[in-house]
Structure 1
Amino acid sequence: MSSTPATVNARVFPRAGLDILSRQEVSRLRDASRGGLHDLLRRCTLAVLTSGSATDDPRAALIRYPDFDVQVQQQDRGVKLELSNAPAEAFVDGRIIVGVAELLFAVVRDIAYVSSEIQNNGDFDLSNPEDITNAVFEILRNARVLRSHVDPNLVVCWGGHSIGRAEYIYTKDVGYQLGLRALDICTGCGPGAMKGPMKGATIAHAKQRRRANRYIGITEPGIIAAESPNPIVNELVIMPDIEKRLEAFVRLGHGIIVFPGGVGTAEEILYLLGILLHPQNADVPFPLVFTGPRESAAYFDQIDRFLRLTLGESVAERYHIVVDDPREVATHMQRGFEKVKSHRLDSKDAFFFNWSLKIEPEYQHPFGPTHENMRKLHLYRDRPAHVLAADLRRAFSGIVAGNVKEEGMQAIEQHGPFIIDGEPEIMRALDELLQSFVAQNRMKMSGDYKPCYRLLT
């Protein structure tokens, strides 16, 4: 029987640029009713306080710390956080770790801002594509991650939270090569392939005596509890949903590296390729590299076959596969950034936000992973590739929800696995891909995996 974890009570004062909140914002953050924000605040702050957790069950932290609570207190000189029964691991000699405190106030900042200025503000019609993009921009600007007068240098790294040791070491090696070239890192902020590139880059940045390094983590409320921020993240942004999180990655980043992963990584790949395959984006340079150690070569062979089968042979023109060569990954990315810079200058687009990229509504509107919505996905090759990619992305998004998101897990427990149907050849290829993820332990960090889906093959 596990012992009761050590906890502390503490007051934490503002960091990371958050100094004041309105009385209305404080009231909503303290509101535990159905329409209030307190439960969301509690879950996200607990995820930050348990940074480095080795579980991907979003309910684990709340089960382990059932008496944890956080209250935002208004005071004359600003705000403070009152933590009750908080994980002791976030403190050293009675003082909260500085980086943890910074991320705590990033949580408060984003939850309050999204609620007051985006979701409950008549200035944004979140059914309108242009307004959605503007909302993504405003959230990133409020989080102070948009930097002007800086040449393209931000590499987004995607990949699995549940990866093997060899793959993790490889992500560090790639991060090291990126860091030597003065490139900054943005990931989904969790463990595994989201942590490795940041860890490698920190060593390289130190060797180059580079200061003000950026390790940006972009997450969303449905997944932060399952993938708590890794300790290297020094700029955290919590987007309101997965679609705005994904749009933030492609608008903010100048190129993307994809490491081996599971269904979440497949979702990200299909999201990006669906956008890049849109005819209006044909001439937009966006370096995209799939890479892993020699042991993972078969993984990307299978991904490549699946993409070619479903989206057509021409899809392979939008990505470059590199096996076991971290230096080539970094130099390819650096060369790609030169093309990005030239294109942005020619098109008079900003370096800090990719306004010109065309993103259709099906990639922006939140997808509810219900049994009904999963069954209605149209997985047939009778329409343009960029449209089919949107539904393929939703299929993987639903499986992610069933695997690691509390709402999705509850739906599976109540109604059984999601049913996914479509063109037989696509279903067979999808089944083969998902079975390989299960066999390679890419679905869960620990424990046996019970599929949350059933394919009609």
Structure 2
Amino acid sequence: MPAKKVINASVSPKGSLETLSQREVQQLSAAGSGSTYSLFRQCALAILNTGAHVDNAKTILEAYQDFDVYIHQQDRGVRLELINAPADAFVDGEMIASTREMLFSALRDIVYTESELESQRIDLSNSEGITDYVFHLLRNARTLRPAVEPKMVVCWGGHSISTEEYKYTKKVGHELGLRSLDICTGCGPGVMKGPMKGATIAHAKQRNRGGRYLGLTEPGIIAAEAPNPIVNELVILPDIEKRLEAFVRVGHGIIIFPGGAGTAEEFLYLLGILMHPSNAELPFPVILTGPASAKAYLQQLHEFVGATLGEAAQQHYQIIIDDPADVARQMTSALGEVERFRRQRNDAFHFNWLLRIEEGFQRPFDPTHENMASLQLSRNLPPHELAANLRRAFSGIVAGNVKDKGIRRIEEFGPYEIHGDAEVMLPLDRLLQAFVSQHRMKLPGGADYVPCYRVVS
């Protein structure tokens, strides 16, 4: 990634996080908590790179090694001093409004996370405590809006998709927006941008000025995939597991488009939860969709689920090929059932409290070589537990592909080894090979993909 023009600037927030305590400022300074300062610097640099076509955190960090950010507490509030910031984040010396909003959203979430984790109010030793923490972080970000009917549609899929697939996501987003539905994605490029872009046009047509474009991310992802500029609500969760829980707690239905390892990770996480006996009666619409050219990909994913988790898992979603209007009609109809169910059970519209998520799905998974090699991948496990372990395997592959720490581990120790029974490993290997051959592991046009993993049966 060639070095770009840089700029020095001073910027203050609008509408949120007008003040920090002296202790919080100290935490975020280079002289204070080094890890907190490094985390915010990394997230800030990613946000300032919004629009850049780079999906490698290590590359971005190395391209802007002289970038720095200082937090100043003033009588009138907080001010950020940016040194050698990417010039593309500015117009005539003024920071683009959406970039400024997201920059201070990152500061807000990192400050809240650090403050809460050090307090006695947060208990992360059990499942209920973890869910409560996710709730409070989302509430602090003003994401939760009581009494608004269920209409938040989560869209998952890859950042590395073809032009035809991207255009299809925009068409689906447009159809959703015409029906006044809101969009939540992982906030990056590709599938994370397309549905939002389509929905903005549709919301404008319907004179809907309150359209929500919610982006949920975490530090390792945001550093590799800068937020797209359409996001008008950004929330940074501390790790991938809490990010995934936030998706299924605030989303009322999920649409899955073509993607790669990250999309498979999200899909398996979702299936593992929906297959839990406690969630058997809970309506949660899931639609897999793509253009006609993606039919083979969707079929491969469907066959992988059947081969590893069984036919019961396949009953938790439907597949719609090349029909954006039908996707939107089916989702709208299903959201009516979600609303009726929650009214009957007196469950909140803004947070899915009744959804049971076991602690195994909530605990952060650190994809070290040892942890990846020791994953239990066997058909003898209960299907929802196998789904959880397959999710962890894909999480490690994502880390090895795009996250700074994962990339450095692969450089030092070589590829991960993934072990398991042949009846699980063979379908897994076929799916991963399909991802590689379809260029779903990296952005098209880059260097040839070198796998960060080795499947062993």
Question: Is the TM value for this pair above 0.5?
Answer: yes
How many residue pairs end up in the alignment? 455
Q: Which letter maps to 1:49? A: L
Q: CA deviation at 1:383?
A: 2.0
Aligned to 1:309: 307
Aligned counterparts, 1:282-321, within 5 A: 282-321=280-319
Q: CA deviation at 1:187?
A: 0.1
- 1:174-216 deviation per Cα after TM superposition (whole angstroms, max 9, x unaligned): 0000000000000000000000000000110011111021101
1:378 aligns to what SS in structure 2? coil
Aligned to 1:201: 199
Match for residue 228 of structure 2 among 230, 239, 255:
230
Partners of 1:32 and 1:52 lie apart in 2 by 31
Contact 2:26 2:32 in 1 (8 A): no
Aligned to 2:276: 278
- 1:10-30 deviation per Cα after TM superposition (whole angstroms, max 9, x unaligned): 111112422111111111011
**Cα RMSD (Å):** 1.1
Contact 1:263 1:443 in 2 (8 A): yes
Match for residue 413 of structure 2 among 390, 412, 415:
415
Contact 1:421 1:455 in 2 (8 A): yes
- 1:96-149 deviation per Cα after TM superposition (whole angstroms, max 9, x unaligned): 1011101110010000000001x2122212121101000000010000010111
Q: Which letter maps to 2:16? A: G
Q: CA deviation at 1:34?
A: 6.1
Q: Which runs of 5+ in 1 are unaligned?
A: none
Aligned to 1:80: 79
Does structure 1 residue 190 correspond to structure 2 residue 188? yes
Contact 2:27 2:33 in 1 (8 A): no
Aligned to 2:174: 176
Aligned counterparts, 1:12-27, within 5 A: 12-27=11-26
Output the TM-score relative to the length of structure 2. Answer: 0.98
2:180 aligns to what SS in structure 1? coil
Aligned to 2:41: 42
Aligned to 1:450: 450
- 1:286-319 deviation per Cα after TM superposition (whole angstroms, max 9, x unaligned): 0000000000000010101110111111111100
Task: Go from structure 1 to structure 2 and tell me whether the alpha carbon gap of 1:161 and 1:367 turns closer, same or farther (over 3 Å shift).
Answer: same
Aligned to 1:90: 89
Q: Which letter maps to 1:80? A: R
Structure 1 segments (4+ residues) deviating >2 Å:
31-36
Q: CA deviation at 1:81?
A: 0.6
Contact 1:32 1:39 in 2 (8 A): no
- 1:253-302 deviation per Cα after TM superposition (whole angstroms, max 9, x unaligned): 00000000000000000000000000000000000000000000000101
Aligned to 2:386: 388
Contact 1:16 1:106 in 2 (8 A): no
Q: CA deviation at 1:407?
A: 0.8
Aligned counterparts, 1:41-440, within 5 A: 41-117=40-116, 119-440=117-438
Partners of 1:215 and 1:189 lie apart in 2 by 9
Q: CA deviation at 1:33?
A: 5.9
Contact 1:30 1:36 in 2 (8 A): no
Partners of 1:15 and 1:128 lie apart in 2 by 37
Aligned to 2:29: 30
Partners of 1:455 and 1:34 lie apart in 2 by 39
Partners of 1:142 and 1:66 lie apart in 2 by 32
Q: Which letter maps to 1:47? A: A
Q: CA deviation at 1:448?
A: 1.2
Q: CA deviation at 1:6?
A: 1.2
Q: Which letter maps to 2:350? A: F
What's the % identity of the aligned pairs?
A: 59
Q: CA deviation at 1:35?
A: 4.7
Partners of 2:137 and 2:17 lie apart in 1 by 14
Partners of 2:331 and 2:235 lie apart in 1 by 24
